[in-house]
Amino acid sequence: DSGVTQTPKHLITATGQRVTLRCSPRSGDLSVYWYQQSLDQGLQFLIQYYNGEERAKGNILERFSAQQFPDLHSELNLSSLELGDSALYFCASSVDPYPTDYYGYTFGSGTRLTVV
């Protein structure tokens, strides 16, 4: 157990629907990152939050949004889902906004999203 908790582990939904993925960071970590792993795009960075504020943005579609709550958990909202959104969505966390310790990030085990 890495200490980063992602729920649900698996999600199957239909095209056009909206889903919410949840991430609880490791205890003491203030920064949360979201990554998408798909067959087409590989592993790519979506967005980072630090202590409730958006810190960095990557290749995140406009149909996707995220937020970090006061208790530091984060949610990734995916709407108007398309078949191509099927992927493994990882959350990671770190203490600092720019990870400095050896491990840098701690990854969760991911949410497998299947859009049918």
Partner 1 sequence: AQTVTQSQPEMSVQEAETVTLSCTYDTSESDYYLFWYKQPPSRQMILVIRQEAYKQQNATENRFSVNFQKAAKSFSLKISDSQLGDAAMYFCAYRVTSGSRLTFGEGTQLTVNP
Contact, 59 vs 87, CB < 8 A? Answer: no
Distance set, CA 3 to CA 33, 71, 79, 105 (Å):
14, 15, 28, 11
Question: Is 86 an interacting residue with respect to partner 1 (CB under 8 A)?
Answer: no
Binder among 19, 25, 26, 35 for partner 1 (CB under 8 A): 35
Question: Is 89 an interacting residue with respect to partner 1 (CB under 8 A)?
Answer: no
Query: E strands within the chain?
Result: 5-7, 10-13, 19-24, 31-38, 42-50, 53-57, 64-68, 74-78, 87-94, 106-107, 111-115
Give the interface segment with partner 1, choosing from 16-24, 62-70, 78-86, 92-100 (CB under 8 A).
Answer: 92-100
Binder among 58, 63, 69, 80 for partner 1 (CB under 8 A): 58
- For the segment 66-85, give every residue that binds partner 1 (CB under 8 A): none
Contact positions vs partner 1 (CB under 8 A): 2, 31, 33, 35, 42-45, 48, 55-56, 58, 88, 90, 92, 94, 97-99, 102-105, 107, 109-110, 112
